[in-house]
C-alpha cells in the first residue's frame, strides 16, 4: 500500500458504490428506481505527465493499464476496458484535450457483487480526468458517457441507475430516479432504528456476457408486441397490468412474465417511497419480499444462494425485508435489519449459509453516502 500513500497527486477523487432499495431491472424499461450511494468507495489519485501516455495502476489488480492517447483500443484485461471506454468517450466530447497522466486507485468495494464497482470505477475515473485536465464536463455528461463506456467497452447494455446514483447519491437519502426524464427527487432514508445489511453470496455473476442483455431484449420484444395495438406506450413500465393481461395469449409465457414484473416493480417503487415517507418500515419490508419473489419467479434473475438468504430472514420480526439486489445471478441481498439484531443475525445466517453451500458469506453494514467527490 506504500505506493498509494507515496503517490503525490494533483487531484484525488472518491467514488462510491451504490445500493438500490427497490426498483430492480426497470431502469432500462423507463421505470422509477430508488438507489443511493454507499460508504464503500474507490479512491483515485491522478497526476499529469509530460508525454502522451496514460498509466493506471490498481492496488489489488494485476496488469497496470499503459496506453497512448491516440491508441484507445479495447484490452484483453477486463478492468482496463471500463477506463479505456471512458477515455474514448471523453475524447469524443473533448477532442484533442486529453493529455498524458498517471493514476492509481484502491478500493474497498467488492467486485461483481451487485453494488456497482463498475460504475464507481467509470464515474470516479471520468470525474478525476475531468478535474485534472479541466475539461468542464457536466455531471450529466459524465453519467451518460460512463453508461456508453459500459455498453460499448464492457458489453453490458445497462440502464442509467448505477452511474446516476454513483454521481448524485446523497447521505441519508435515496434518489427516486425517473429513468425516462433522468431526474430525481430526494427521499429521506427514514429507516427508524434499522440499518441496511448487505450479504454477499460470494457467487459471482457476469452480467456482460449473457442474461442481463437477454432480459433487456425480452422486454423490448414484449413492448414491441404491445405497441402494435397501443403505440402510445413508449416504455414497458408504463403499460398497465390490465393491458399486459390483454396480451397474455399473444405474448410468449416468458415475455408475459417479464412484462408483468416490470409493471409491478414500478408500482412497488412508488409505494415504497410513500412508506419511507411515513416511516412504515414494516410495509416497506413487505415490498422488498414481493420484489424478490418477482425477480425470482417472473424475471428469473435470482439463484439458489440468493433465495436461501432471503428465505432465511422470513418470519424474523427484527428483519423487515430482504431481496436480491442488482443484476442478479449472485451478488448481494439487501436486508433491512433492526440495529440490535444485526450481530446475532449475521452470525446465524453466516453459519447456515456455510452449512448449506460450503461458501463463506461476507456481510456489509452500509451507510448512505454522497456521490463522487473531489477530495
Which residues here bind ligand GLA, judged by CB under 6 A?
20, 24-25, 27-28, 116, 158-159, 161-162, 326-327
Give the nearer residue to ligand GLA in terms of CB position, either 24 or 264: 24
- In whole angstroms, what is the distance from residue 321 CA to residue 337 CA? 8
The least distance separating ligand GLA from the CB of residue 225, rounded to whole angstroms, comes to: 22
CA angle 149, 67, 168 (to 5 degrees): 35
Q: Which three cell numbers stand for residue 114?
A: 451487485
- b/e sequence 315-348, b meaning 16+ C-beta within 10 Å: ebebbbbbbbbbbbbbbbbbbbbbeebbeebbee
The least distance separating ligand GLA from the CB of residue 43, rounded to whole angstroms, comes to: 22
User: Among all chains, which residue has been given the C-alpha cell 448481494?
Assistant: 332
Give the nearer residue to ligand GLA in terms of CB position, either 217 or 250: 217
Give the nearer residue to ligand GLA in terms of CB position, either 11 or 86: 86
The least distance separating ligand GLA from the CB of residue 216, rounded to whole angstroms, comes to: 8
Give the nearer residue to ligand GLA in terms of CB position, either 290 or 350: 290
Please count the other Cβ atoms lying within 10 Å of the Cβ belonging to residue 228.
9
Q: End-to-end alpha-carbon separation of the chain, Å?
A: 19
Is 307 tagged catalytic?
no
Q: Which three cell numbers stand for residue 173?
A: 437519502
SS3 300: coil
If you count DSSP H runs as helices and E runs as strands, how many of each does the chain have, helices first?
A: 11, 14
Q: Catalytic one among 27, 102, 162, 238? A: 162
Give yes or no for a contact between 259 and 237, defined as CB atoms under 8 angstroms apart: no
- In whole angstroms, what is the distance from residue 258 CA to residue 287 CA? 18
Give the nearer residue to ligand GLA in terms of CB position, either 107 or 116: 116
The least distance separating ligand GLA from the CB of residue 152, rounded to whole angstroms, comes to: 14
Give the nearer residue to ligand GLA in terms of CB position, either 45 or 157: 157
Residues whose CB is less than 8 angstroms from the CB of residue 244 and which lie 6 or more positions away in sequence, other chains included: 226, 251, 256, 259, 260, 263
The least distance separating ligand GLA from the CB of residue 173, rounded to whole angstroms, comes to: 19
Give yes or no for a contact between 83 and 129, defined as CB atoms under 8 angstroms apart: no
The least distance separating ligand GLA from the CB of residue 114, rounded to whole angstroms, comes to: 7
Active-site positions? 162
Amino acid at each position: 500500500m506504500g505506493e498509494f500513500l507515496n503517490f503525490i497527486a494533483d487531484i484525488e477523487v472518491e467514488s462510491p458504490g451504490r445500493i438500490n432499495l427497490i426498483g430492480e431491472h426497470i431502469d432500462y424499461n423507463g421505470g422509477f428506481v430508488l438507489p443511493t450511494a454507499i460508504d464503500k468507495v474507490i479512491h483515485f489519485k491522478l497526476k499529469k505527465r509530460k508525454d502522451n501516455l496514460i498509466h493506471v495502476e490498481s492496488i489489488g489488480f494485476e496488469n497496470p493499464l499503459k496506453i497512448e492517447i491516440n491508441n484507445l483500443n479495447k484490452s484483453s484485461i477486463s478492468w482496463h476496458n471500463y477506463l479505456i471506454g471512458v477515455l474514448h468517450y471523453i475524447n469524443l466530447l473533448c477532442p484533442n484535450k486529453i493529455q498524458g497522466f498517471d493514476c492509481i486507485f484502491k478500493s474497498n468495494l467488492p467486485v461483481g457483487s451487485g453494488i456497482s464497482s463498475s460504475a464507481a470505477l467509470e464515474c470516479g475515473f471520468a470525474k478525476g480526468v475531468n478535474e485534472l485536465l479541466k475539461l468542464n464536463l457536466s455531471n450529466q455528461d459524465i453519467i451518460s458517457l460512463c453508461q456508453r463506456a459500459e455498453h460499448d467497452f464492457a458489453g453490458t447494455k445497462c440502464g442509467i441507475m448505477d452511474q446516476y446514483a454513483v454521481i448524485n447519491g446523497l447521505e441519508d437519502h435515496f434518489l427516486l430516479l425517473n429513468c425516462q426524464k433522468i431526474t430525481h427527487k430526494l427521499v429521506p432514508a427514514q429507516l427508524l432504528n434499522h440499518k441496511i445489511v448487505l450479504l454477499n453470496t460470494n457467487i459471482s455473476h457476469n452480467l456482460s456476457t449473457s442474461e442481463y442483455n437477454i432480459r433487456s431484449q425480452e422486454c423490448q420484444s414484449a413492448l414491441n408486441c404491445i405497441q402494435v395495438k397501443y403505440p402510445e406506450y413508449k416504455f414497458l413500465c408504463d403499460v398497465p397490468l390490465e393491458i399486459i393481461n390483454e396480451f397474455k395469449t399473444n405474448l410468449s409465457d416468458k415475455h408475459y412474465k417479464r412484462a408483468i414484473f416490470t409493471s409491478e416493480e414500478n408500482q412497488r417503487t412508488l409505494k415504497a417511497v410513500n412508506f419511507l415517507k411515513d416511516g412504515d418500515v414494516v410495509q416497506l419490508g413487505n415490498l422488498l419480499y414481493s420484489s424478490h419473489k418477482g425477480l425470482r419467479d417472473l424475471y428469473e434473475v435470482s439463484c439458489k444462494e440468493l433465495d436461501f438468504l432471503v428465505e432465511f430472514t422470513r418470519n424474523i420480526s427484527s428483519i423487515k425485508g430482504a431481496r436480491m439486489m442488482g443484476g442478479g445471478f449472485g451478488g448481494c441481498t439487501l436486508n433491512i435489519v433492526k440495529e440490535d439484531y444485526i450481530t446475532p443475525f449475521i452470525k446465524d445466517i453466516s453459519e447456515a449459509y456455510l452449512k448449506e453451500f460450503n461458501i463463506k458469506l461476507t456481510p456489509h453494514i452500509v451507510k448512505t453516502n454522497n456521490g463522487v467527490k473531489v477530495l
